[in-house]
Amino acid sequence: MIKILAIEDDLNQIKMLRSKVETYNIKNKFGEQDKIFIEFRQNDDDIGKLLFEEKFDCLVVDINWGPSNPNGGRNLITKIINNKRIPIVVYSGKLNQIEDLDERFGLKKIDRTESFSVALDYIVKVKKTHIFDLLGYDGQLDKIVTEIFWKDIDKSLRAMPTEDELDDKSLTRMLTTRVVNYLSLSNEDDKYKYYEFYINPSLTTDCHNGDIYKLNDSYYLVITPECQLLKIETANLLKINFSNEIDNRVTGAKDRSKKINTLARIISEGKCFEHYIPPFNNNRHAVVNFREIITMNKSELTEDKKETTINPVYMKNIQSRFSQYYSRQGQPDIDIDHLYKYLYETNN
């Protein structure tokens, strides 16, 4: 079920939108679980109460609410963007009044000359991503934070030394760590998706451990530990290589089950000097090569060259394997042919 709250003061327009929703439900053969419902308000007087007491999946907003409130829609959009998390569709004949607001995921501008079904298609598409079910104003994340507030905050505060030592940043860091830990508690059936491997876009413009840069049409991963990056002006980077070999090995397997097993072995085993990383920025399979390392001044690693950042949870594994590879003592190469002759071809 998808619930839409439309702010519209034109009665003829309300009648038309309601009819469009009914036709859309019939055309798509939506049952009760998929059906779209729409409610109307002529202004935003009680929108705060509605969003608190009910769960809506999208706001449809007109810009002009009559001569007494020509900027009502614009003011509501700004208020929602600054305070709430709910998708907004601006369905209006006066989109020129919000030219300064860029479209983005969660804000769609549709001229009223377009059919309202275009807006409904967009709303259904957004709903299917489940993003706002998690991050919306009444989403799963808010429910976790509410649970922490009522169940755990008292115990957490008791563990702190004194109130004088608290600060906003440390408190936020402590509480968000609880959220992350809560989400990390998974059963054996849970699987991590490949896109969780990256933080995109990167959180900072500066150079950090785990950042991936595009330099002269090649990609490199910053491998210098964060504690060292803070003290020195240079950074060590490992080259990222893309290979069709992985695709060839996977597609060469007989059936889907064996193809999946082949990919799993490539990811888990690999070579001692390589580490598999999933696709990013529309690329295919890639490996970080521990043998191809360069050193650059951090001032050369500018924001425009940064492509993405590997999630620190996964970066720890790459860092660990890289350290193990370079700290190995190794041994002189043995002449295998000579050893084979001694073991199997020499008469004892």
Q: Is 342 part of a structural domain of the chain? A: no
Q: Which residue has the higher pLDDT, 206 or 342?
A: 206
| Residue 237 shares a structural domain with residue 318 | yes
pLDDT of residue 318: 92
The whole domain housing 297 covers 196-327
User: Around Cβ 183, how many Cβ atoms within 10 Å?
Assistant: 11
Q: Taking the CA of residue 50 as centre, how many other CA atoms within 13 Å lie in the half-sphere pointing to its CB?
A: 18
Rounded to whole angstroms, what are the CA distances from 75 to 56, 97, 114? 19, 11, 23
| Residue 38 shares a structural domain with residue 113 | yes
Q: Is 177 part of a structural domain of the chain? A: no
| Residue 30 shares a structural domain with residue 99 | yes
Q: Is 145 part of a structural domain of the chain? A: no
| Residue 235 shares a structural domain with residue 306 | yes
Which has the closest alpha carbon to 276: 289, 286, 264?
A: 286
pLDDT, averaged across the chain: 85
Tokens of 89: 């569709």
Q: Which residue has the higher pLDDT, 177 or 209?
A: 209
157-180 pLDDT, tens digit each: 676 666 556 677 777 777 777 777
| Residue 123 shares a structural domain with residue 208 | no
pLDDT at 348 over 80: no
Q: Is 186 part of a structural domain of the chain? A: no
pLDDT of residue 234: 94
| pTM to 2 decimal places | 0.65
82-131 pLDDT, tens digit each: 888 899 999 988 898 888 888 988 899 999 999 999 999 999 999 988 88
| Residue 208 shares a structural domain with residue 306 | yes
Which has the closest alpha carbon to 132: 66, 86, 82, 198?
A: 86
Q: Is 125 part of a structural domain of the chain? A: yes
Q: Is 210 part of a structural domain of the chain? A: yes
Q: Is 147 part of a structural domain of the chain? A: no
- What total of structural domains would you count in the chain? 2
| Residue 14 shares a structural domain with residue 124 | yes
| Residue 233 shares a structural domain with residue 321 | yes
Q: Which of 135, 159, 185 is the last residue of a domain?
A: 135
Q: Which of 109, 135, 161 is the last residue of a domain?
A: 135
| Residue 109 shares a structural domain with residue 204 | no
Q: Is 167 part of a structural domain of the chain? A: no
| Residue 311 shares a structural domain with residue 201 | yes
User: What CATH number should be reported for the domain holding residue 49?
Assistant: 3.40.50.2300
Contact of 35 with 1, CB cutoff 8 Å: yes
Least confident piece of the model among 142-156, 224-238, 253-267: 142-156
At 330, the pLDDT band (50, 70, 90 cuts) reads low
User: What CATH number should be reported for the domain holding residue 256?
Assistant: 2.30.30.110
